Amino acid sequence: MADTVPDRGEAQASGYAWYVLGILFLVYVLNFVDRQIISILAEDIKRDLHLADEDLGFLYGTAFGVFYSLFGIPLGRLADNWHRGRLMVIGLALWSTMTALSGLSRSGGHLAAARIGVGIGEATASPSAYSLISDWFPKRLRATALSIYSAGLYVGGGVSLFIGGLIVQNWNRAYPGGGPLGLVGWQAAFMAVGLPGLLVALWIATLKEPIRGAVEGLPPPPKHPAPFAEFGRELVTIIPPLTLIGAAMGGTRALAINLLAAGITVAAVLGLIGAGEPWPQWTAVGIGVYAVFSWGCALKRRDPATFALIVATPAFVLTVIAYGLNAFLAYAASFWAAPYALRVLHAAPAEAGFFIGASGALGGFLGVTLGGIVADRLRRTNPAGRLIVVLFGAVAPLPFMATAFTASSTWLLYPMLFIGQVCAATALGAAAATTQDLVLPRMRGTATATFFIGTTLLGLALGPYLAGRVSSLSGSLSTGMLSLMLSAPITIAAAIMAYRLVPRAEATREERARAVGEAI
| pLDDT tens, position by position, 44-70 | 999 999 999 999 999 999 999 899 888
Query: In the prediction, which pLDDT does 63 show?
Result: 92
Query: In the prediction, which pLDDT does 7 show?
Result: 58
Query: In the prediction, which pLDDT does 95 show?
Result: 94
pLDDT range class, residue 72, cuts 50, 70, 90: confident
Query: In the prediction, which pLDDT does 77 show?
Result: 81
What is the arithmetic mean of pLDDT over 214-225? 75
Mean pLDDT of the chain: 90
| pLDDT tens, position by position, 486-516 | 999 999 999 999 999 999 999 999 999 999 9
- Total number of residues shown for the chain: 520
| pLDDT tens, position by position, 18-30 | 999 999 999 999 9
What is the 3 state secondary structure string of 262-313? HHHHHHHHHHHHHCCCCHHHHHHHHHHHHHHHHHHHHHHHHCHHHHHHCCCC
372, 376, 378, 380 alpha-carbon torsion, rounded to 10°: 180
Q: Is the pLDDT of residue 361 over 70?
A: yes
Pairing between β-strand 3-4 and β-strand 209-210 as defined by DSSP bridges: parallel
Residue 239 carries which DSSP code?
S
Q: How many CA atoms lie within 13 A of 54 on its CB side?
A: 16
Closest CA to 86 of 237, 238, 231, 299: 231
What is the arithmetic mean of pLDDT over 301-308? 92
Residue with the bigger pLDDT between 418 and 519: it is 418
What is the arithmetic mean of pLDDT over 364-372? 86
Q: Is the pLDDT of residue 12 over 80?
A: no
Query: In the prediction, which pLDDT does 429 show?
Result: 86
Query: In the prediction, which pLDDT does 137 show?
Result: 87
Helix (H) or strand (E) holding 210: strand 209-210
| pLDDT tens, position by position, 274-288 | 999 999 999 999 999
Q: How far apart are CA 337 and CA 358, in angstroms?
A: 13
Residue with the bigger pLDDT between 242 and 10: it is 242
pLDDT range class, residue 80, cuts 50, 70, 90: confident
Q: Is the pLDDT of residue 272 over 80?
A: yes
| pLDDT tens, position by position, 374-399 | 998 999 999 999 999 999 999 999 99
Q: Is the pLDDT of residue 103 over 70?
A: yes
Task: Tell me if 391 sits within 8 A of 497, measured CB to CB.
Answer: no
Closest CA to 153 of 58, 59, 26: 26
Q: Which residues pair with 3 in a beta bridge?
A: 209
Task: Tell me if 157 sits within 8 A of 175, measured CB to CB.
Answer: no
Query: In the prediction, which pLDDT does 134 show?
Result: 84
pLDDT range class, residue 166, cuts 50, 70, 90: very high
Residue with the bigger pLDDT between 157 and 163: it is 163
Task: Tell me if 385 sits within 8 A of 379, measured CB to CB.
Answer: yes
The rounded Cα 160 to chain-centroid distance in angstroms is 16
pLDDT range class, residue 5, cuts 50, 70, 90: low
What is the arithmetic mean of pLDDT over 368-375? 89
Closest CA to 448 of 462, 460, 438: 438
Backbone angles phi, psi at 4, to 5 degrees: -125, 140
Listed in sequence order, the DSSP H helices in 123-207 are 125-136, 139-174, 185-194, 197-204
Query: In the prediction, which pLDDT does 159 show?
Result: 87
Query: In the prediction, which pLDDT does 33 show?
Result: 92
Q: How far apart are CA 20 and CA 439, in angstroms?
A: 23
What is the arithmetic mean of pLDDT over 84-104? 94
Q: State the burial class of residue 263 (Cβ atoms within 10 Å of its Cβ: 0-12, 13-18, 19+).
A: exposed
Query: In the prediction, which pLDDT does 470 show?
Result: 96
- pTM (2 decimals)? 0.84
Q: Is the pLDDT of residue 10 over 70?
A: no
| pLDDT tens, position by position, 127-139 | 899 888 988 888 7
Query: In the prediction, which pLDDT does 371 show?
Result: 92
Q: State the burial class of residue 206 (Cβ atoms within 10 Å of its Cβ: 0-12, 13-18, 19+).
A: exposed
Q: How far apart are CA 308 and CA 439, in angstroms?
A: 9
- DSSP string for 368-431: HHHHHHHHHHHHHH-TTHHHHHHHHHHHTTHHHHHHHTT-SSHHHHHHHHHHHHHHHHHHHHHH
Query: In the prediction, which pLDDT does 8 show?
Result: 55
Percentage of the chain surpassing pLDDT 70?
98
How far apart, in Å, are the Cα atoms of 164 and each of 42, 158, 307, 359?
11, 10, 42, 15
Q: How far apart are CA 78 and CA 234, in angstroms?
A: 9
Query: In the prediction, which pLDDT does 442 show?
Result: 83
Query: In the prediction, which pLDDT does 1 show?
Result: 54
- DSSP string for 341-353: IIIIS---HHHHH
Instruction: Tally Cβ neighbours within 10 Å of residue 420.
Output: 28
Q: How far apart are CA 212 and CA 220, in angstroms?
A: 5
Task: Tell me if 231 sits within 8 A of 47, measured CB to CB.
Answer: no
Task: Tell me if 463 sits within 8 A of 56, measured CB to CB.
Answer: no
Residues 6+ apart with CB under 8 A from 187: 102, 103, 104, 105
